[in-house]
Amino acid sequence: MNFTKAQIKQIENKGLTVDKVLKQIETFKSGLPLINLESAAILGHGILSVSKDENKEYSAFYDKQKEELDVLKFVPASGAATRMFKFLFEFLDMYDHEKETVNGYINKHKANDLLVFGVGLEKFPFYNDVIKESKKHVPNFDSLSADLKVVEFVKTMLNEDRLNYSFSPKGLLPFHKYKDHIATAFEEHLFEAALYATSNNIAAIHFTISEIYKDIFDEEFNRIQSIVEQKTNTKFKISYSYQKEETDTIAVSAKNEPIEDVDSSLHFRPSGHGALLANLNDFDADIIFIKNIDNVVVYKYENEVAKHKKVLAGILLKKQNKAFKYLKELEADKVCEDKLIEIARFLRKKLNVIISHEFEKYSPKYQIEYLKNKLNRPIRVCGMVRNEGEPGGGPFWVKDESGTVSLQIVESAQVDKKNKHQKSILKNATHFNPVDLVCGIKNYKGEKFDLSKYVDQKTAFITMKTKTGKDIKALESPGLWNGGMANWNTIFVETPIVTFNPVKTVTDLLKATHQL
């Protein structure tokens, strides 16, 4: 495939190479394999259940250690909130006031989201702001019919010349209503971080955002900084990064031909949250908490959430300390047979690593190398919530092409649902992934791992998008906590549902954990 000189320059300016782009196109042509599920991870087989006494022990262990550690909270917060309001955009587009009532529209289109939205209208944190703004644009707002008030209310929320909420980053939308103020998700992350992600009363929080939003995030932090710092007795070190251009991927047509824009330049797209592994790889903190921007709670639930974060961190530190001790012993090379068996048992029982059935046949020298390789990896401890019908990925035992079985977080889109056995495993999963991770990214010598070396590139996604009304194919990097961490050592821990409170649609703000 021949690119023009201008296109080659465009590729290089992104930090990509022609060879990488050609490989992306080849991936579209050859396709990507689906995940081969071995079984669902369940309590006692891939998911750890922690007792009340153990909860206290792990939490206390973390609290005792953290002042000596470099702690970071990493919050993926890119993009606008458009998808939160999808059903409201559809309502504005399809509703005809002269031909039907709002209730008629709800019944006709089975628009349950709109029904919930209408019933809970006054409980939304932005209700008063929207009413006030509506009256500026529609002076006779109070005299409108109930149906037209709903229409104008939604227009005020979404129209570009009014509040334009759908353009706002999700992290800066009004999320929670308190007696004296309205809090954004960004603000709640600060209050929450003060409860568990601090070292010496300093909380370092990193947000991955779209560059166009940098100024308004800065404005929000400047507005609330002194208040939050005073209330929490914590100093905040806020930093931002953007999805790197070299992680973009080329878009192709249905025939796998590169899409060109009007100016004949190649059309590239951001490659999903897996691209943020490059941002994460820039840090060398001792312990990193990862949590999505929309997964926050009102203040009265924050201590409960923080307690479970500290438990995950305590588990990580205890298992990591043991792994480091074993690695130092292995490095000495003078390890007796009983010690090798002990280390292999630790890998299997505590880090969920399947040891080769050939292990006992290896020479002692190769056994040492094998155990070093399995132990000396980044570690992630992931909270897992009991499945209550929420969408999202889940914990599974997965078999790769070489027959190696490992513990992974898998999205349903990665599974061959035409295969009855695979579909059955997926359907009978007991837990799902709330994106609640604590990560250790340094080795036993205190050196940072190169996280790019632990990615399973075959777990990328090919997705269908549209551009100017035409279908195009896009390539997404292996997900940050899916294939992006496929070759990390993994511990899954059951956590309660209170730790999972995402706002995927605006009506989620009516749930108990988002209301006082």
Tell whether 212 and 148 lie within a shared domain: no
| pLDDT tens per residue, range 387-422 | 976 656 899 999 998 899 999 999 988 999 999 999
Residue 362 lies in a domain: no
Tell whether 204 and 313 lie within a shared domain: yes
Predicted confidence at residue 392, as pLDDT, reads: 66
Closest CA to 497 of 310, 313, 301: 301
Predicted confidence at residue 147, as pLDDT, reads: 97
Strand 268-269, strand 249-250: pairing: antiparallel
Q: How far apart are CA 475 and CA 249, in angstroms?
A: 6
**Can you tell me whether residue 386 is helix, strand or coil?**
strand
Tell whether 298 and 178 lie within a shared domain: yes
Q: Tell me the residue range of the domain where 116 lies.
A: 82-167
Tell whether 64 and 103 lie within a shared domain: no
Q: Token digits for 441?
A: 């990214």
**Can you tell me whether residue 469 is helix, strand or coil?**
coil
Residue 177 lies in a domain: yes
| pLDDT tens per residue, range 288-309 | 999 999 999 999 999 999 999 9
H helical segments located in 31-138: 52-65, 86-94, 102-109, 112-119, 127-137
**510, 112 in Cβ contact below 8 A?**
no
Tell whether 229 and 278 lie within a shared domain: yes
Which percentage of the chain shows pLDDT scores above 90?
Answer: 93
Predicted confidence at residue 271, as pLDDT, reads: 92
Tell whether 211 and 297 lie within a shared domain: yes
Tell whether 187 and 76 lie within a shared domain: yes
Tell whether 76 and 128 lie within a shared domain: no
Residue 375 lies in a domain: no
Q: Which of 167, 191, 216 is the last residue of a domain?
A: 167
Predicted confidence at residue 80, as pLDDT, reads: 80
Q: Which of 167, 192, 218 is the last residue of a domain?
A: 167
Strand 46-48, strand 42-43: pairing: parallel
- In 341-391, the DSSP E strands lie at 379-386
Task: Give the CATH number for residue 237.
Answer: 3.90.550.10
Specify the number of domains making up the chain: 2
Q: How far apart are CA 230 and CA 248, in angstroms?
A: 41
> Which residues, including other chains, have CB under 8 Å from residue 495's CB and lie 6 or more apart?
308, 311, 312, 383, 384, 385, 434, 436
Give buried/exposed letters for 226-257 (b at 16+ CB in 10 A, else e).
Answer: eebbeebebebebebbbbbeebbbbbbeeeee
Q: Token digits for 232?
A: 């929490």
Looking at the predicted structure, is the pLDDT value of residue 333 above 90? no
Tell whether 74 and 106 lie within a shared domain: no
Residue 325 lies in a domain: no
Instruction: Give strand pairing partners of 399.
Output: 405
- CA-based diameter of the chain, in Å? 86
Tell whether 204 and 271 lie within a shared domain: yes
DSSP string, 255-294: TSPBPB-TTS-B-EE---GGGGHHHHTT---SEEEEE-TT
| pLDDT tens per residue, range 60-112 | 999 999 999 999 999 999 878 899 999 999 999 999 999 999 999 999 999 99
Burial-class residue 102 by CB neighbours within 10 Å (0-12, 13-18, 19+). Answer: buried
- pLDDT confidence band for 455 (50 / 70 / 90): very high
Predicted confidence at residue 469, as pLDDT, reads: 79
- What phi and psi values does residue 445 have, to the nearest 5 degrees? -95, 0
Predicted confidence at residue 388, as pLDDT, reads: 79
Tell whether 220 and 287 lie within a shared domain: yes
Residue 377 lies in a domain: no
Q: How far apart are CA 132 and CA 320, in angstroms?
A: 54
Predicted confidence at residue 449, as pLDDT, reads: 98
| pLDDT tens per residue, range 351-396 | 999 999 999 999 999 999 999 999 999 999 999 999 976 656 899 9
Looking at the predicted structure, is the pLDDT value of residue 193 above 80? yes
**246, 16 in Cβ contact below 8 A?**
yes
110: left (phi over 0), alpha (psi -120 to 50) or beta: left
Q: Which one-letter amino acid corresponds to residue 43?
A: L
Tell whether 307 and 233 lie within a shared domain: yes
Q: How far apart are CA 34 and CA 460, in angstroms?
A: 10
Average pLDDT over residues 320-341: 93
Predicted confidence at residue 75, as pLDDT, reads: 98
Residue 169 DSSP code: B
Other Cβ atoms closer than 10 A to 327: 17
- The percent of the chain in helix, strand and coil, each rounded to the nearest 5, is 45, 20, 35
Looking at the predicted structure, is the pLDDT value of residue 428 above 90? no
Q: Token digits for 458?
A: 């075959």
Residue 328 lies in a domain: no
Q: Token digits for 322?
A: 């043991």
Residue with tokens 């000396």, as numbered in its chain: 376
**Can you tell me whether residue 406 is helix, strand or coil?**
strand
Residue with tokens 């046949």, as numbered in its chain: 361
Residue 425 lies in a domain: yes
Q: Which one-letter amino acid corresponds to residue 157?
A: M
Q: Token digits for 481?
A: 């906590």
**21, 11 in Cβ contact below 8 A?**
yes
Q: Which of 134, 167, 200 is the last residue of a domain?
A: 167
Measured CA to CA in angstroms, residue 481 lies from 21, 159, 476, 486 at distances of 24, 35, 13, 8
Residue 323 lies in a domain: no
Measured CA to CA in angstroms, residue 50 lies from 53, 385, 420, 461, 496 at distances of 8, 13, 33, 34, 11
Predicted confidence at residue 465, as pLDDT, reads: 86
Q: Is the dihedral of CA 403, 409, 413, 416 positive or negative?
A: positive
